[in-house]
Amino acid sequence: NVDRLRSVLFDAVAALPATEDRDCVCAHALDGVETGVVLP
């Protein structure tokens, strides 16, 4: 079940539009805010 959930989540995230394609401000909500999380 965990493997299936992981697969479904990866597929769902992959289906999300790229940041450049979104027209909402939510993609930049944390710009300039130090979250302590380093993204690749």
Q: Write the pLDDT tens digit of every residue in 4-36.
A: 999 999 999 999 877 676 677 777 787 888 888
pLDDT at residue number 4: 95
Q: Does some domain include residue 40?
A: no
Q: Does some domain include residue 5?
A: yes
Question: How many domains does the chain fold into?
Answer: 1
- Please give the residue range of the domain that contains residue 4: 1-31
Q: Does some domain include residue 36?
A: no
Phi, psi angle pair for 5, to nearest 5°: -60, -45
Q: Does some domain include residue 19?
A: yes
pLDDT at residue number 31: 85
Which pTM value belongs to this model? 0.45
Q: Does some domain include residue 23?
A: yes
Tokens of 37: 């999380």
Q: Does some domain include residue 18?
A: yes
CA pair distance 29, 21, nearest whole angstrom: 16
Q: Does some domain include residue 14?
A: yes
Which position has the token pair 């710009």? 31
